Structure 1
């Protein structure tokens, strides 16, 4: 029986591209692996505090940090909704990462007890920051999370990237609506297929 840890961080509970995609992923996971467990954290509805000196010094002795680290330790796979805000991840997600990653406890690269754990990141963004686009150098979501999760956990990191999510609401982006719709459809399809494949792999 595999456990999926699902983290959402988009500030809006409705109309969020990342939440829409993570929801499809979780539903497909449950269909493929009905006996599995899903542990859910909504960092917008129930944010963790920013890391302070006391929690940093306590490490795994901090009750909150121990709780978050234990959720990671119990997870066979992790799903994170990480929309781009001001070219980076939401501050609530950064706070969760700062608490959950504990050097000498679960942070240690290839030596981490989480090494090899599959992380699926839904990195939604209002524009396009893909290679070759004018804003490629402003992309600090995928670059940051891949380096962090592989560097600290030795994790297996995969991305689903719905782009141009603001096209429908921004008149200046009206010409990009068809591309946005294509990107959304691709992301939803990838969420379903990747969740099924991962659930099958972990249940084997």
Structure 2
């Protein structure tokens, strides 16, 4: 039994999402110190951008006629799929970039899908914690309400396509204290950070209890 942790931030350990993922995983590990945690950091160790196209095109070529790039892409896609399906639970930290999903995470999703039937229920019934971090605020009544094109997309993939039992932990205003234009939201930003950290710990406890 193992926990798969996936990070997608380009900021490495300094990212808000990685901080929340640390809380989830540390809480889980405290209850299961002997269990394996498999990690893949898509932001600091990105997948080749061309790999998805090569994996898809390989499907139209006889195996003995595939290029080296196609063979490598097919092997990579199979590796990613195996990591996902072999895990008993998953923690996914997804930053919000340019109003949508990180290119690094999208490449990972595309490769996993390319490795088999697109309709395969790869996470059927498995508990998944999705950690969403956004620099600003995009909720109801805000100037950019409806501009978040990431969170619902990931729900579609994780739940509707792959069948996960999903918990979403969200933190907004992560750029408070970084972007001076958001200084007026200092107190709210601190409150949202604390709430997200509490929710991350609770999600870790729930994962541990269900393991």
In the other structure, the counterpart of 1:144 is: 153
Aligned-pair RMSD on alpha carbons?
1.7
Gaps of 5+ in 2: 60-70
Q: Distance in 2 between matches of 1:167 and 1:53?
A: 38
In the other structure, the counterpart of 1:33 is: 32
CA drift at 1:186: 1.0
In the other structure, the counterpart of 2:9 is: 10
- TM-score normalised to structure 1 length: 0.89
Q: Distance in 1 between matches of 2:145 and 2:32?
A: 37
- TM-score normalised to structure 2 length: 0.87
Q: Structure 1 or 2: larger strand share?
A: 2
CA drift at 1:58: 3.8
Gaps of 5+ in 1: none
1:38-187, aligned counterparts within 5 Å? 38-50=37-49, 51-58=51-58, 62-102=74-114, 104-105=116-117, 107-108=118-119, 112-187=121-196
Deviations along 1:13-44, whole A, 9 cap, x unmatched? 24311011101111111001212211000112
Q: Distance in 2 between matches of 1:15 and 1:115?
A: 32
CA drift at 1:180: 0.8
Question: Highest CA radius of gyration, 1 or 2?
Answer: 2
Q: 3-state SS of the aligned residue for 1:95?
A: helix
Task: Report if aligned partners of 1:33, 1:200 keep a CA contact under 8 Å in 2.
Answer: no
TM superposition outliers: structure 1 runs of 4+ over 6 Å: none
